Amino acid sequence: MANLLLVEDDNTFSKLLTNFLGKHGHQVKACSSIREAREVLAKNDTDGPFEVLMLDYRLPDGNSLDFLKTLRSEGNRTAAFIMTSFHDIRTAVSAMQTGAFDYITKPVNPEELLMVLREALNKSSEQHDADTKASPKSKTGSKSDKSQNLEYIEGKSKLSKQLYEYVRLVAPTDMSVIIQGESGTGKEHVAKSIHRLSKRANGPFVAIDCGSLSKELAASELFGHKKGAFTGALQDKIGQFEAADGGTLFLDEIGNLGYDVQIKLLRALQERIIVPIGSTQQVKVDVRLIAATNEDLITSSANGDFREDLYHRLNEFKIEVPPLRRRGEDLSIFIQHFVNKANEELDRNVKELSREVLEIFNRYDWPGNLRELNNVIKRLVLLSKEEVATIHALPAEMITVMEEQQKPSGSDLKALQETHEKEMIEKVLQEVRYNKSKAAKLLNIDRKTLYYKIEKYHIE
């Protein structure tokens, strides 16, 4: 039995979920707004802490991503997943950067819900194990490796070949690397590949998700602390820099680190020395750093959000991981890989996907990249009892959205105009590396109009 917090403003759906989960042995506390959820979390009068937060995306007093961001910044690290309509999928994708564990599309399929919940509970217990361990290799705040399938595939497209050529080129050196790419493109996989092909392969690979750390926690997580250094520092703690000694430290979503921590990080990189919080003792460390980001750190440093000196120190080598929609023939290779993986995990025997499903997959632009493909296939396999997975196991709204996208016909002038407008905006944004001011200027519209159109056309 698990203790779950459900935040959902649709009362009928909320009751349905509560009953359904109750029948499966879980205890659910349901709230209908962020305010109410905050009160419940503050009181914490349930039997023990919540193990999983299930959050509807749109709530009457805000959206659950902002809510989650606040919770994370306050140090709450309970596993959370977002429930969202397919229309909001792009937002759900960014949920991953706010430290959500996963997302699930509405209407929620019961079997899928139980599967995601099971995975969230696994994650929650791993987190708990890590939090209660005070050993030097404690993975507190770090991304755990345990549940991840280490098997990976490279793909055959030109972009993939180039990607892995760079990986093999930089791996044996001790250079710091920045891995840039959209959410879910496989940046962590690339980082692990570099580690495995490096001279440090026998040393530890420690991954930290900077997106899910509060500003206060980040410094102690990276550099460790002495007992009593701050409220809550009940014992000495070794930071992840030390845990990664002799190996590789992977900092995911590095753009989320606060300015103070950035200064400390720069010093650690330059001098190869760290000082735990509350200590005066310097500790020598031998760590290779790999950082990942899905934003353009040059722009962030121009805006003053990211220190330029740190950027240059990290950027000894940069690797761009291409989005799935640009990886051409790789799509079918990844489909096969994820189908095999899902068959194994879910004890199914799906041999192939129907022609309609493949057509949709080929046309869809996969904003959540490999993670989204993996999720959609997992759902497809879970719901397919036959050897051929058909369109019926796809989220209904995915099919609707694809049908809508197909609509612009030669005679539908408005739709054609909109398609052209969308393509033009995407092209210009890419040209100016997503600098919106520059893009607005080139397109001869004001920034506000550009933002409106980006939202309207769901441009990333």
Ligand X SMILES: Nc1ncnc2c1ncn2[C@@H]1O[C@H](COP(=O)(O)OP(=O)(O)OP(=O)(O)O)[C@@H](O)[C@H]1O
* Residue placing its CB nearer to ligand X in the complex, 148 or 449: 148
Minimum CB separation from ligand X for residue 143, in Å? 8
Close Cβ partners of 106 (under 8 Å, ≥ 6 residues apart)? 83, 84, 85, 86
- Phi/psi of residue 424, nearest 5 degrees: -65, -45
Residue 338 and residue 165 in contact, taking contact as beta carbons nearer than 8 Å: no
CB nearer to ligand X: give 181 or 239.
181
- Pairing state between β 283-284 and 273-274: antiparallel
Is residue 66 within 8 Å of 42, Cβ to Cβ? Answer: no
For ligand X, which is the closer residue by CB, 184 or 239? 184
Hey, what's the torsion of the CAs at 346, 352, 358, 360, to 10 degrees? -40
Shortest Cβ distance from residue 276 to ligand X (Å)? 27
CA neighbor of 107 nearest in space, from 91, 88, 85, 90: 85
Nearer to ligand X, 33 or 94 (CB): 94
Nearest-approach distance from CB 187 to ligand X, in angstroms: 3
Based on CB atoms, which residue is closest to ligand X, 56 or 188?
188
What minimum distance in Å lies between the beta carbon of 261 and ligand X?
A: 19
Cβ atoms within 10 Å of 299's Cβ, excluding its own = 16
Least Cβ distance, residue 345 to ligand X (angstroms): 12
CB of 153 to ligand X, least distance (A): 5
Residue placing its CB nearer to ligand X in the complex, 261 or 324: 324
Residue whose CB is less far from ligand X, 341 or 436: 341
d(CA 352, CA 371): 20
Q: Is the dihedral of CA 102, 251, 51, 120 positive or negative?
A: positive
Nearest approach, Cβ of residue 252 and ligand X (Å): 5
Report the nearest approach of ligand X to the CB of residue 447 (Å). Answer: 26
Taking the chain, what is the end-to-end CA distance rounded to the nearest angstrom?
39
Q: Cα(221)–Cα(217) distance, rounded to whole angstroms? A: 6
Contact between 204 and 240 under an 8 Å Cβ cutoff? The reply is no
Locate tokens 């750390």: which residue?
A: 213
Q: Are 249 and 288 in contact (CB under 8 A)?
A: yes
By CB under 6 A, name the binding residues for ligand X: 96, 148-149, 152-153, 181, 183-189, 252, 292, 294, 337, 370-371, 374
The nearest distance, CB 400 to ligand X, in angstroms, is 26
> In terms of CB distance, is 186 or 367 closer to ligand X?
186
Residue at shortest CB range from ligand X: 186
CB-wise, 59 or 321, nearer to ligand X? 321
Would you give the DSSP letter of residue 54?
E
Long-range pairs of 356-363 with CB within 8 A, sequence gap ≥ 24: 356/390, 356/391, 357/389, 357/390, 357/391, 357/394, 360/391, 360/394, 360/398, 360/399, 360/402, 361/331, 361/335, 362/331, 363/402, 363/405, 363/406
